[in-house]
Structures are given as C-alpha cells and as structure tokens.
Amino acid sequence: MTKAEESVPGGARAGGALVTGTLLVVLSAACFGANSILTVIATRAGVPLVAVLFWRYGLAAPMLAAVALLSGRRRLALPPGRLLPLLLVGGGGQALLIFLALSALDWVSAATMGFLFYTYPVWVAVFAVVRGSEPFDRLRALALALSFAGIVLMVGAPGTAALRPAGVALALGAAVVYALYIPLIGRLQSGIDPATASTYVVLAASAIFGAAGLATGRFRLALPPQGWGAVVALALVSTTLGFIAFLKGLSALGPVRTAIISTVEPFWIAVLGALVLSQPMTLATLGGGALIAAAVVLLQRAPAG
C-alpha cells in the first residue's frame, strides 16, 4: 500500500466503492431497461422471440469473450469446478427467468406482470434475512418501501378485473427465480472476471434458446435489417455492457442493495418507451421515478452489510 493510500480513511474508500457500485448497478438497469424496447423493435420486424433471444445471447458471447481476453492473464480460464455451475445455474437461470416472465404475458397484462415481477427486491431481502447473509435495518426497509411504492405508482397495481392464477404464478415465479439468481450468480462469479463469467452464462442461454427455436420451428438464420440492428444492440448494450456492470456492482454492493437499486429499471423503460416508441410519459412515471431515486440515495447512508 502506498502512502497516498494509507492517508485515505477506510470509510472514504468504502464510500467510494459504494458510489461506484451504485453507478454500475444503475448503468446495468439502464442497459437491461433497453431490452424490452429493442425486443419490441425486433419482433415488430418479424423476428420470432425465441430467435431474438438466441441471437442476443449468441452474439453477446464472443463480445464478452473479447472483453475478457483483452484484459489479459488468460481471463477465459476458470477455477476448477466452476464451469458446469456457471453453465447450468447461470445460463439455465437466465433462460428460466425469461421464459417465466414472457409466459406470464399469455395470462395477464404487461402492467400486472411488471407489478408482480418487480416484487423481487422483497424476495431478495426476505431470503437474505432468512439466510442471515445481510442485515436488514430500518434504512434498508425504508428504501425498499420507497422503491416498491415507486414501482406501484409507475406500473400500476393490478386492476380490478379478476387475475388469472396461472399468470400470477408465472410472474411471481419469475420474481422468485430472479431473487434467488442474484445471490447465486454473485457467489458463482466470485473471484472471476465479470466478462469471463458472463461469457459462459450467455453462451449457455444462447444454446438453450437455440434448441428451443429448433424444437418449435421458430429458429431463424436470416433476419431483416431492422431485426439485425435491434439484435446487435441487444447483444452489445442489454447483454454485454449490462452483465459486466451488473456483476461488478453486485460484487461491491451485495444482493439486497443491488436488488433495490435495480428497481430504477422500470423508469428507464418508461423513458426509452417515450423516446423510441412514442409512448406517453405520465406524471405517475415521473413520481415513481422520484421515489426510486430517493430509495437509491437513502441506501448510500446505510452501513455496508
């Protein structure tokens, strides 16, 4: 350690890591928020959803591998016993999460599915408390309540019409899977360069969707130009950049903070929807975004857990 480093108080270093981790998670949420918009563009161009997902992950794998290799030191090499868990749990978890969330849309509206899915920070916090892996103090509880209220305000609570149990189960299942996935992928990629870990995760997800496309007859090699543009953007922004930022932020913040901060994603979706798809930006969206921003700021005051 240099004298300059010794002169920096530990709290200042921890605070800097907290801010950096927060910015990385916010960046990942913005990248993931572009996912639905770009997917709509691709499917409107006539590309089947399973083909969109295959090409998204398939193109992202070499991008992530290139990032890992450019960083040197044989970054694609994994510690013993880590490859199979990353492929099965990482890639399989990604595929399962997306399958559940998209399947729910066959039974409930997008607003209802969004409301149910974005309960996942609650599940993350509950699982962390049960495992005793992270403290859940008053500041975290207040931040969670603010972010949840912001999501309700933006997305809207489920309507008065009767909800179909299958759709509710699938959407909540996606939320629970994501809540379990966040700490699991955090442990699996511990000590591994984020680009390296992401390479194997997205490679497995691409293989799963490729197999699904072949099995259902919806696999496509030839895409229209607009479809290619959206798919390349999905691979570069919503997958490569998003995964690296998310995993680096997760390693700095832990699952609970990461999950709560990630709830800025619906706000990014609304902003991009207004800019790209000309969807209205309502006062409810702005108010919900403000509540989520307040939760993120509040988390900066919570002690690291």
Mean pLDDT within 14-25: 81
Mean pLDDT within 146-164: 64
Q: Would the pTM count as exceeding 0.75?
A: no
Q: Is the pLDDT of residue 76 over 70?
A: yes
pLDDT tens profile 180-203:
888 888 888 777 888 888 888 889
pLDDT tens profile 267-290:
676 677 677 766 666 677 677 767
Give the torsion through C-alpha atoms of 10, 12, 18, 19, to 10 deg: -160
Which of 69 and 162 is assigned the larger pLDDT?
69
Q: What is the pLDDT of residue 285?
A: 64
Range with the poorest average pLDDT among 97-101, 117-121, 295-299: 295-299
* Residue 2's pLDDT band (cuts 50, 70, 90): very low
Average pLDDT, the chain: 78
Contacts of 3 (CB under 8 A, 6+ apart): none
* Residue 3's pLDDT band (cuts 50, 70, 90): very low
Which of 292 and 32 is assigned the larger pLDDT?
32
Q: What is the pLDDT of residue 231?
A: 94
Q: Is the pLDDT of residue 11 over 80?
A: no
Q: Is the pLDDT of residue 253 over 70?
A: yes
| For the chain, percent of residues with pLDDT exceeding 70 | 78
Q: What is the pLDDT of residue 6?
A: 44
* Residue 15's pLDDT band (cuts 50, 70, 90): low
Of 152, 150, 147, the closest CA to residue 287 belongs to 150
Q: What is the pLDDT of residue 242?
A: 87
| For the chain, percent of residues with pLDDT exceeding 90 | 13
Q: What is the pLDDT of residue 147?
A: 73
